[in-house]
Each structure stands twice: as structure tokens, then as C-alpha cells.
Amino acid sequence: MKEENKPFNNVIDHFNKIEGNAANVVSKKTLKKLPKPLKYFGYIMAGLLSITILLMIILTSLN
């Protein structure tokens, strides 16, 4: 295992070996390898979610 992905206790090590842990697989390097349309779709969805939450906060405070 790489030093950065070394588990800090036996429970986490067991979880990674037996059940698998996607947190160790996903990194910025793998996210940069995604196709451009998929990246842009993710950016648009995250932006729309942020705008929706912001609008909900503003509209509920006006009532």
C-alpha cells in the first residue's frame, strides 16, 4: 500500500480488504481522466444543486 493510503487501524484495514472502499480508488487523478461531457454534466449538476439550495434559503427567509 502507498503511504498515503495506509489504514490507521485494523478495522479500517479489514473494511478495505473485505468490503472494498471506494475512497481509496477515487482520487483527483482518476477524476481528471473522465470524459469531458461527463465532467461538464457533473459541474452543471453541482451548480444547479448549489443554486437551488441558495434560492430555497432566500425564498424561505422572505416568508
Residues 63 and 43 in one domain: yes
DSSP for 18-31?
A: II--HHHH--HHHH
What value does the mean pLDDT take over residues 45-54? 97
Shared domain check, 44 and 28: no
In this structure, the answer to whether residues 27 and 50 fall within a common structural domain is no
Q: What would the pLDDT profile of 18-49 be if each residue is shown by its tens digit?
A: 776 666 566 666 777 889 999 899 899 999 99
Given this model, what pLDDT does residue 1 score?
Answer: 47
Q: Are residues 24 and 48 in the same domain?
A: no
Q: Do 28 and 38 sit in the same domain of this protein? A: no
Residues 55 and 41 in one domain: yes
52 and 25 assigned to the same domain: no
Distance from C-alpha of 12 to C-alpha of 57, rounded to nearest angstrom: 38
Residue 48 lies in domain: 34-63
Residues 13 and 27 in one domain: yes
Residue type (1 letter), 32: K
Number of H helices, E strands in the chain: 4, 0
